[in-house]
Structure 1
Amino acid sequence: MIAPTDSVSFSNSVTPLTQFHPDLTREALEDKVILVVGGANGIGASLVELCCENKAHVCIGDIDSPRGATLARKCRENWPVYTEPAAPPKPPRSTFQPVDITDYQSVLDLFEYAFKTFKRIDHVVVTAGSMEPNENWFDNSLNLEAVRKPPSTKDLTVNLVGPLYVTRIASVYLRHNRGPGADRSITLFSCAAGFKETPGVSVYQAAKHGVQGLMRSLRPYFSSPYKHNLRINTICPWMTETHPALTKKLCDRWAKEGLPVSTSDEVAQVTAGVLVDNTLNGTSMYVEGGRAWEIEANIERLEAQWLGEIPWQTLAQGQKLLKDAWAA
């Protein structure tokens, strides 16, 4: 099957790169049902608390059961749900369901649990991730003996296969029990490594490039009112306080150089801003030092310059042919 290759329209696609300012109001998240896969720790946990504080209902899915269950209980205690006496009871503010993102049945069970608990799902966010800095597939110390041992594929399965599973299942569950015109979205976590080379983490980077490719391949297809009618975007944080590569030695040098580090709360704020903005589809938010910029529009806008005028025209013609062939 040939993939769809529509040219995608973006916010401010004919203007230079501008900073994204999340416009988050309590009303924007109130009573929304949000499934956060990887929501027990770090950025995911910050997002869960932010959404619950703004009166959303959140289902946390994570492999870390103790922390996930504790967070769900904390959210229920801090932001309880009140139901009018004559009205049907509202679902809980937050629940937890254990999930292994690399196991398809486990991901399916998570969605089934969330759907039965809340009767619908509005937004899905995948913050789950893995980085094994000591697992260098291409270490120059490898010899004929060491190379015989198969390397770990955890970074690949958690960072790419898992989001593929979630996105496939989410595309079905998000369509159900929703009225016409209801806003629905999938937000995937990529990384600055998803578009910029990062030394020492080749498999991690390949997976994050894959997440970017997944979003780009689906943004014209998912947004079609005749297909799924939902939005898909990516968040690309640079260095964050909870980044596994941020050792004390690196942290000290980072601070000495005056380089920015985002907090989990800051990245969560950007993510929530993307969730509530129903004009955003096919975007990638690069986040550094708590600030965010949308990068896809400039890649599209400047394509004729970085690719060259003649290759750009030829590519556009071929992409249209592929689109027509796929549609047929």
Structure 2
Amino acid sequence: MAQFHPPDSGVLRDKVVVITGGALGIASQLVRHCHSAGAHVIFGDVLTAPAEALIQSLSSASASNQVLKFVHTDVSSYAANLHLFSVAYDLCGRVDHAVSAAGVGERGHIVDETLTLESVREEPVDCMRTLDINLAGPLYFARIASVYLRQPSPAVSDPASTAVATDKSLTLVSSIAGFTEAPGLTVYSAAKHGVYGLMRALRGPLSKYAPQPIRTNAICPWMTETRMVGGIEDDWARAGLPRNSPMDVARVIAGE
């Protein structure tokens, strides 16, 4: 089986990285990893308290000119995604890497054997919130990222130049549920399949952007120890199945 060996984290020094979902879980470890590697990190989340706590825990280790910024961001809102990138661009003058990592688990049951001719008349608003965050969010993020990532860096500001300023990348976080069966996770699985499909649809066109091609990848983690897997840990352990730590996945994302 092939193995992926992430490059040395030194490649992230002075890079500008935009991340969604950075307050907790995998994305918070990605914020930590990129920051420790010397990157400028601008991240968005709806969870203000843990995001501010993360900022506080990292601030003492920041270099004098290193940017570390939290922006309150509801990824299901196009305007909020746009604001996140705008803040990063205003602070740093460019965006080098963009990672769509915000996500939520299944909410309710969109298909349920208890549904009746009466109850099925009620719109499944809470269920569809999973789709808004897990699929509409990455679609919005990718659209906006494709523009900000291809803007020339200050060092290559001549419109006539054909030089590539820096390596640029867009990374989308899907799931193993994005290409395998996930019984019971109906909307979550549909959304993560969509994210995987989004990567496949974008990677060709974005790689041909001139003068700045953009690499596009999707990460599909196996069970990872975050709050999203609450309730299945004991069964998982009894089955002897392997698991990831959030930092395991964060290092792979950083290597993309």
* TM-score over 0.5 (shorter chain): yes
Q: Does 1:156 align with 2:140?
A: no
Distance across 2 between alignment mates of 1:236 and 1:166: 18
Q: Where do 1:96-175 residues align within 5 Å?
A: 96-133=70-107, 135-151=108-124, 152=126, 153-175=128-150
CA distance, structure 2, for counterparts of residue 145 and residue 244 of structure 1: 31
In the other structure, the counterpart of 1:272 is 254
Deviation at 1:205, TM superposition (A): 0.7
Q: Percent identity?
A: 43
SS state at 1:19 partner:
coil
In structure 2, C-alpha distance between the alignment counterparts of 1:236 and 1:165, rounded to whole Å? 19
AA in 2 matched with 1:58: V
Runs of 4+ in 1 over 3 A off after TM superposition: 225-228
Q: CA deviation at 1:189?
A: 0.4
Residue 281 of structure 1: aligned partner: none
Please, which runs of 5 or more residues in structure 2 have no aligned partner? 157-162
Kindly report the root-mean-square deviation, in angstroms, between the aligned alpha carbons of the 2 structures: 1.5
- 1:228 CA drift (Å): 5.4
Question: Comparing both chains, which one has the higher relative contact order based on Cα–Cα distances under 8 Å and sequence gaps of 6 or more?
Answer: 1
Q: Distance in 1 between matches of 2:130 and 2:236?
A: 25
Aligned equivalents of 2:3, 2:94: Cα separation in 1: 33
- How many residue pairs align between the two structures? 245
Secondary structure of the corresponding residue to residue 224 of structure 2: coil
Could you give the per-residue CA deviations for residues 245-304 of structure 1, whole angstroms, max 9, x where no partner exists? 331xx3122112110111111111111111xxxxxxxxxxxxxxxxxxxxxxxxxxxxxx
What is the SS of the residue equivalent to 1:110?
Answer: helix
User: If the length of structure 2 is used for normalisation, what is the TM-score?
Assistant: 0.91
Q: What displacement does 1:227 show?
A: 7.3
What is the Cα deviation at residue 225 of structure 1?
A: 4.1
- Whether the aligned pair in 2 keeps the contact of 1:235 and 1:271 (CA below 8 Å) is yes
What does the per-residue CA deviation read over 1:88-134, in whole Å, with 9 as the maximum and x for residues that have no partner? xx3x331111111111111111111111111111101111001135x
Matching residue of 2:160: none
Distance 2:142 2:136 in 1: 10
Alignment-mate amino acid for residue 127 of structure 1? A
User: What does residue 253 of structure 1 align with?
Assistant: 235
